[in-house]
């Protein structure tokens, strides 16, 4: 079973139920599914494919959830970066993870390609609600999580 199949249990069976409340707005499972499908379509149009890595340097926000689900649906490896990390830690993660791009609300030092989180959602709105068809299996990696080290880098 894949993560996408597990998420589908809620996306389909609870489509009209509230899934998330954030900053005074409520989003249903169906809305979250559609948002992440459109974003997955956008990411695919930008060249992301299964096995690619996408770093995300954002505070808690709706886009973080959309990006995570879009990555899972494409088989893109989601790499969240703690917003408290600064240049040394960022450089290490970007060098080690080798992402195709970084999604951020702020400039990211040493990143070759940075996509603005504020621009992705409006741009994704032009894409269809359907999920891109990507063959995934239970061994498809979903994320790389860098934890803080006490004796060295993450």
Which DSSP letter does residue 143 get? B
Domain 3-124 has CATH 3.40.50.980: yes
| pLDDT averaged over 10-residue windows placed end to end, the chain, 154 residues | 89 96 96 97 98 97 96 98 91 96 92 92 96 92 86 65
pLDDT at 66: 97
Q: If you compute the radius of gyration of the chain from its CA atoms, what whole number of angstroms results? A: 16
pLDDT at 150: 62
pTM: 0.93
pLDDT at 2: 87
pLDDT at 154: 65
pLDDT at 148: 73
Q: In sequence order, which ranges of 14-154 are alpha helices (DSSP H)?
A: 29-45, 62-74, 87-97, 117-124
Determine the Cα–Cα distance for residues 65 and 59; give it in Å rounded to an integer. 11
User: Residue 10's beta-bridge partner residues?
Assistant: none
pLDDT at 105: 94
pLDDT at 29: 96
């Amino acid at each position: 079973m894949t993560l996408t199949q597990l998420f589908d249990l809620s996306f389909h069976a609870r489509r009209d139920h509230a899934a998330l409340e954030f900053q005074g707005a409520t989003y249903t499972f169906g809305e979250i599914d559609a948002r992440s499908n459109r974003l997955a379509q956008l990411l695919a149009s930008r060249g992301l494919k299964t096995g690619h890595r996408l770093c995300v340097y954002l505070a808690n926000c709706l886009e973080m959830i959309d990006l995570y689900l879009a990555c899972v649906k494409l088989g893109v490896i989601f790499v969240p970066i703690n917003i408290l990390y600064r240049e040394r830690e960022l450089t290490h993660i970007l060098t080690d993870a080798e992402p195709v791009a970084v999604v951020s609300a702020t400039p990211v030092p040493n990143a070759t390609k940075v996509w603005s989180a504020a621009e992705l959602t409006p741009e994704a709105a032009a894409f269809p609600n359907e999920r891109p068809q990507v063959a995934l299996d239970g061994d498809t990696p979903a994320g790389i999580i860098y934890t803080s080290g006490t004796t060295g880098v993450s």
